[in-house]
Structures are given as structure tokens and as C-alpha cells.
Structure 1
């Protein structure tokens, strides 16, 4: 089937995107509001987008009234956030932080999330996360009525010591982190345990020459 996205309501576009663009890594984002309340929320419209400067990008959907949610509001106002990656161990706690809590309620308290202070930004790290990225806002794009795209520059990367296989060579034991990702459908997740390896091939001009003949 063919779907012309402009002909569909936003909810249907969302269903097509999240059912096909999989697996998606999860950014468990911590921010701090003007009132001092620390917010924690997971987002799967997320990925790394560069290394010079090192960039992470978040797609932050608005609420049903078209207003920014806490994460977007706090990033806009404070310009700082922390992206924490999610392991299997933290899955239930992360899921609990998805609740639509009132703005004066911290998901950190509600879900019982352990935190530790960051070095360069105000929002804390999630203490149990295998990886945390301290970020500052570089760009904020409001494209359309329902979303904000936040581009953050990574200032500090924290990787728990047990996942560093070789500190000198920066070899990371990614498999040991047991990260999870989002899949299709409501509440469907993926364990990153079924992997395979392919060697990147070198260009072979004989393949083209052979086809030309």
C-alpha cells in the first residue's frame, strides 16, 4: 500500500512511523524546571547525529492541547538536559516514569529513580543508567504544531566503569549494558541481544565493469 502522509491525520502518521522505524533507542531525559522540580521522561524519537560537535537529537511531541510537555518546556527555559540510556534492569522504572504526572510532581520521586549530580549541567544523571550524556541546547526547531526538535551538544559522557572494556582504546562493552529499544505497537520493547556482524566491503570496480560487458 501507498500512504500519502499529508492525507492522514497525525495519529495515523505516528502509527506508520513507529511501526516501521524500529528499533529506536530510548532517551530517558532528565531536566530541571524553574520551580526546581526534576523531570524524567523517556523518548524514542531520539538518536546521535554527529561528532564535531557531538550531537544528540530529540523529537518532543506536544500534549493533546498543543502545549509543550515538561521536558520541552525545561529545555527551552534552562537550555540543559541529560540523556540517560535504558537497560533491562531499569525497564519497569522507566515505564513508571511515563505517567502523565502533574507539573509539580517529580517523576524522580514518583518512580523512585536514583540520581547523582551532573558535572556541567543542573539536571541530575540517573544513577543506574549505563550511559548518561550531559547536554546543552544548540538548536530548537518548532516544525509543525505538534512537535519540537531539540538538538543538544554533549558536554560530558558518563559510562559506568563495568562497561569499559579497554580505557585506552575506548572499547565499550555495549552488549553487557543490556540496552532496550522501542518497537512497534503500544508498550512493545526490544532487547539488544540478537546481533550479527558484517564486514564493510571495499569498493570493487570489477563489479561495475562486469555488468557493463
Structure 2
């Protein structure tokens, strides 16, 4: 950014903030919390789930690789590159979903959502609620200006999440992401702090 334009969010703010936990209303006791090594089996399962593999393209992991990846997520949070939450039962139990922000640009005031759910969490509106809660935190506490969601135009479930979480469709990015079956156009959704 130009020296004449101050950063939207000062460097160091994300690293200095504790990562909050959120309880998801209307979900029967689910919450968002930081990932821990305890969740490694869930991450391994996600990396082998056909739908998650197709839409999110994760690398295959064993349990040791999952533990290492979870540790890297905390390192990335401290480096202010991203922040991820586990979607899990509030009364304990392993994660069955992931939601959070990647491609964080504090100076520019923006970030991109990342999310997935294992089959046990799909189809009941959990991710839209989680995305809305993380958005509110990103705007009100962290101080970002713009959040975006991109997904294949062939992934209607992700489109529903974006729309229900208050991210209107802004347009289509042609040939934007390579999947196993070729290049996909992607929807671009965004939400502003002022929305």
C-alpha cells in the first residue's frame, strides 16, 4: 500500500487478539473453537471425503500430517495470514467442519472465507451461521472492510451458504479454478463492513 494511505488494520492486531470461541444459535449446541491436535482424525477424514476433496482440493493426510497442519494453522494466525475455527459439538467431541479466513490482507482490509463440512454437518444451515458469526468478528473486532467467498458455479451448496450469510453475488470469474474435471468458473460473493 502507498505510504499516503494508512493500513485499514494495523499490523500485529490479528496476532494480538485471542482467537474467540462462538456458540452457534439454533444449531442444538454447536460452537466454533480453535483447532487442536485432538481434531486430527477429523481432518484426515475430511481430506478423504469425496465432496471435500473435489471442491476444496486438500492434500491427503495421515494423522501425523494432520497434527502438523493444525500446528501450521496457528503459526499462520500468528503471522496474520489466516485464522481457522473447528465446527464442533459444544459439549466436547471432534470437529466435523472448518470455517475461517485465508488470504488475510490487514493493510488492505480484506480476507477470503474457507469452509467445509463433513457429511454429519451438512444440510442444516450450520455453515451459514458460522460464516455470519466469523464475519461479524472480522468486521467489528478485527476491523476488516471486505470479506469474499469464491466457489465453483457448479457448487450450489456453497452458493446457498454465501447468500444466507449475507454475501451477495458480485459476478462470475471465468476459468478461475482447476478441479479434477477441468477448469471451473467461480462465483464471487462479498460482504462489506457497511452492509
Query: Which has the larger share of helix?
Result: 2
Same fold (TM over 0.5): no
TM superposition score normalised by structure 1 = 0.24
TM superposition score normalised by structure 2 = 0.25
Higher relative contact order (CA closer than 8 Å, sequence separation 6+) = 1
Q: Which has the larger radius of gyration?
A: 1
